[in-house]
Amino acid sequence: MALENVRDLLEQVVGYASARGVELAEFRVERRKATRIELIDGSMVANAAVDYGVAVRVYVNGSFGFAYTTRLSREKVIDVFNRALALARGASAGLPKPLILDPLEGEYTHPVKVSVEDVSEEQKISDIVGFDKLLAKAPHVKSRTVVYTDIVEDKFYASTEDRYIHERRELAYMYASVYGQEAGVRGSAHIVLGTAKGYALWYKYDPEKEAERLSMRLRNQLEAATPKAGVFPVILAPEALGVFVHEAFGHLAEADLVVAGSVLRGKKGQKVASELVTIVDDPYIDDGFGTFRFDDEGVKTAKAVIVDRGVHRQVMTDRLHAQMLGEKPTGNARAESFRHPPLVRMRNTYMEPRDASLEEMLEGIKFGYYVVSTGGGQTNIDGSFQVGVEEAYEIVNGEIGRPVRNLAIAGNTLETLLNIDMVGKDFELHYGRCGKGQLVYVSDGGPHVRVRRMTVGGRA
């Protein structure tokens, strides 16, 4: 179905649904056109996708029913609507009624430098092959994986509230990982580059610098010492802090996890972090992977101030949990695609900068660790977290020392936030995907911070 015809389809099916006595029915028609170029040690596979389908969610009688199809005809959409309706009717889940909104017409196309659709596949291939060749130059790089992906996302939302929204955005990112071996020591390192400005990766990032950065990360792995296990002061660089803010803390402030008993439950208005700490989830930041105007429940997005100078102020909500908790709607409902109902998810999550410099943070640390980049992390609703570290260094007598490997930082998130005694004046945003059963594109970041004491896993 051509995109021009989607609005007609939506009006027809909303009309049909409105006549069926539902309290709320929502239709999401989503089309993602993606190009993906993979280079495995220089061997190429080019991939393309047209992922196009419709999701229907119905609220009736205290329950949600959800259905989707990849077959986009009026008959099929009505068929899956009726299935969703029957599912909701049968569930008697006893959920409160989600927030109901006013009629609205919304249309937003995020501006891009150059649309990825206006750049030939030959050009994209040539750029990515060029980057791969830079990586191949370093003698310690033995194996390479470089994946370039761009996505043009058209999302239509319509509901029985007479809300009709269309939002279009483009995401592009590159993942590169290298593996090396020298004198019997093996190691690997990776980087992720991203932009929401169309075909702009190579405007935004200098390929030579990025290739050099990745090559240096690998070299560090090969030369690294094994860290001591124990409790030490730690400085987190923006990339690592972003992962911490997102994984270790952000998830605990998602309203569904708050309801499920996260450690932030009942902590509103309480001090949960050092007063130097302000953490927000911001849907408006320029060039973020989590930047959008309307979420997947057709709710206008708003900034969520989760922690303001150490005090827990807001949780991230969807329509249902805003109602359950009596919180403001923040527009945090996101679905990976039409195949999934939305969940409460983060967007661009970061810690706001303050005034310290890295030099000031290093001063006075006799022995500790400087953590630059990570391989990701994981939290549990009990408030415990683990972040696996890729690039890290010893700090010895106030100076950054030799690189270390196979390090993880772990602990209790709130205790860690209370232990932050310096927050830097710099700021970086990083790009990635977050999994919570479904994958969504997010950004995270912040400045450098210093944590007085943190558990570091290594060798005893």
Partner 1 sequence: MLRISPIELAVMAVRRAMAEGATEAEAFVTYSRGYSVSIFAGKIRDVEYDDDIGVGVRVAVGKKVGFAYATGAEPGVAAEAARRAVRLARSAAPDRDWPGLPEPSPSYPDVGGIYEASLARVTPEALLDEAKSLIGFVEGYREEGVLLSRARIGASVVERAIANSNGVYQVDAGTYASVMVSTTISREGVTTPAVFVFDSSRVTMPSVERVAERAIELSRLATRRAEQPSPGRYTVVYAPQALAELLEETVLFSLRGDMAVRGRSYFRNKIGQQVLSEKITIVDDGALKGGDASWRFDGEGVATRRTVLVEEGILRSFVYDTYWGRRAGYESTGNAVRAGYASRPSVGFTNVILGEGDAAPEELLEGRVIVVYQVQGAHTASPETGEYSVLANPAILYENGEPRGWVPGLVVSGNMYQELREKVEAVGKWLEKPYPGIQLPWIRLGGVTVAPRA
Told to check if 410 binds partner 1 by CB under 8 A, we report yes
Q: Which segment (49-57, 162-170, 277-285, 365-373) binds partner 1 by CB under 8 A?
A: 49-57
Told to check if 439 binds partner 1 by CB under 8 A, we report no
Q: Which is nearer to partner 1, 94 or 269 (CB)?
A: 94
Q: Which is nearer to partner 1, 69 or 443 (CB)?
A: 69
Told to check if 283 binds partner 1 by CB under 8 A, we report no
Q: Which of 18, 36, 25 is nearest to 151 (CA)?
A: 36
- Kindly tell me which residue out of 29, 80, 201, 235 binds partner 1, with binding defined by CB under 8 A: 80
Give residues 26-45 in contact with partner 1 (rule: CB under 8 A): 35, 40-41, 43-45
Q: Which is nearer to partner 1, 68 or 202 (CB)?
A: 68
Told to check if 401 binds partner 1 by CB under 8 A, we report no
Number of residues forming the site for partner 1 (CB under 8 A): 92
Q: Which is nearer to partner 1, 42 or 111 (CB)?
A: 42
Question: Hey, how many other C-beta atoms are within 10 angstroms of the C-beta on 306?
Answer: 28
Q: Which is nearer to partner 1, 301 or 337 (CB)?
A: 337
CB of 455 to partner 1, least distance (A): 4
CB of 381 to partner 1, least distance (A): 5
Told to check if 69 binds partner 1 by CB under 8 A, we report yes
Q: Which segment (92-100, 151-159, 282-290, 439-447) binds partner 1 by CB under 8 A?
A: 92-100
Told to check if 86 binds partner 1 by CB under 8 A, we report yes
Told to check if 3 binds partner 1 by CB under 8 A, we report no
What residues have CB less than 8 Å from 448, skipping those under 6 apart?
235, 236, 237, 238, 241, 356, 358, 361, 423, 424, 426
Told to check if 161 binds partner 1 by CB under 8 A, we report no
Told to check if 260 binds partner 1 by CB under 8 A, we report yes
Site string for partner 1, 162-181 (x = CB under 8 A): -----------------x-x
Q: What is the 3-state secondary structure (H, E, C) of the chain?
A: CCHHHHHHHHHHHHHHHHCCCCCEEEEEEEEEEEEEEEEECCEEEEEEEEEEEEEEEEEECCEEEEEEECCCCHHHHHHHHHHHHHHHHHHCCCCCCCCCCCCEEEEEECCCCECHHHCCHHHHHHHHHHHHHHHHHCCCEEEEEEEEEEEEEEEEEEECCCEEEEEEEEEEEEEEEEEEEECCEEEEEEEEEEECCECCHHHHCCHHHHHHHHHHHHHHHHHCECCECEEEEEEECHHHHHHHHHHHHHHHHEHHHHHCCCCCCCCCCCECCCCCCCEEECCCCCCCCCCCCECCCCCECCCEEEEECCEECCCECCHHHHHHHCCCCCCCEECCCCCCCCEECCCEEEECCCCECHHHHHCCCCEEEEEEEEEEEEECCCCEEEEEEEEEEEEECCEEEEEECCEEEEEEHHHHHHCEEEEECCCEEEEEEEECCCEEEEEEEECCEEEEEEEEECEC
Q: Which is nearer to partner 1, 3 or 48 (CB)?
A: 48
Told to check if 374 binds partner 1 by CB under 8 A, we report yes
Told to check if 104 binds partner 1 by CB under 8 A, we report no
Angle among Cα 309, 312, 313 to the nearest 5 degrees reads: 95
Query: 277: burial class by Cβ within 10 Å (0-12, 13-18, 19+)?
Result: buried
- Kindly tell me which residue out of 72, 78, 216, 311 binds partner 1, with binding defined by CB under 8 A: 72
- Kindly tell me which residue out of 87, 104, 192, 311 binds partner 1, with binding defined by CB under 8 A: 87
Q: Which segment (18-26, 301-309, 360-368, 379-387) binds partner 1 by CB under 8 A?
A: 379-387
Told to check if 22 binds partner 1 by CB under 8 A, we report no
Told to check if 326 binds partner 1 by CB under 8 A, we report no
Told to check if 61 binds partner 1 by CB under 8 A, we report no
Give residues 113-132 in contact with partner 1 (rule: CB under 8 A): 120-122, 125, 129
Told to check if 455 binds partner 1 by CB under 8 A, we report yes
Told to check if 140 binds partner 1 by CB under 8 A, we report no
Give residues 199-238 in contact with partner 1 (rule: CB under 8 A): 229-231
- Kindly tell me which residue out of 195, 348, 349, 379 binds partner 1, with binding defined by CB under 8 A: 379
